[in-house]
Amino acid sequence: MRVKALVFVSVLACLTITAAVAQEGHPVIGTWSGEWGPTATQRNNVLIVMNYDTTTISGVLNPGYPDEAPLKVATLDSTKWTLHLEADSKDERGNPAKVVIDGKLENLGSPNRTFTGTWTRGNVKGDFKLARE
């Protein structure tokens, strides 16, 4: 009887751990936060929330902020783990500004994944680094 109980507890523990790991899902899914800017001293905080439904990446740039913008284009090259995003946002004056983000996902096996590359808002180009929360 004790052996059966031990086996049951072991199987239950494995299933619980597997379910917890499975909840991480696709590498792009989640909330990504960090900063972008044209220079080391000119930085802007940024937040991106992304989802993946087996065929399509969707998401929102800066949800809840005045410059909130849904992602209009989101493509992933899973052979290189590069991601291209586009959104129609606003610049610091509130004028319309297209945002184009091109970067690479790194540390895919870790819960501390990063997304780095180039960020263009309107005619301002810079670099960015985001981490998945």
Per-residue pLDDT tens digits for 83-102: 999 999 988 888 899 999 99
Which pTM value belongs to this model? 0.80
Residue 2, pLDDT score: 55
Residue 67, φ and ψ in degrees, nearest 5: -95, 20
Q: What is the C-alpha separation between 107 and 93, in angstroms, rounded?
A: 36
Average pLDDT over residues 74-81: 95
Rounded to an integer, the average pLDDT of 99-108 is 96
- Residue 120 pLDDT exceeds 70: yes
Q: How confident is the model at residue 112 (pLDDT cuts 50, 70, 90)?
A: confident
**Cα–Cα distance for residue pair 58/42, rounded to 1 Å:** 28
More confident residue, 76 or 3: 76
Q: Which residue has the tokens 């284009």?
A: 73
What confidence tier does 24 reach under pLDDT thresholds 50, 70, 90? low
To the question of domain 27-132 being in CATH 2.40.128, the answer is yes
Q: How far apart are CA 35 and CA 28, in angstroms?
A: 17
- Sign of the CA dihedral 124, 116, 98, 78? positive
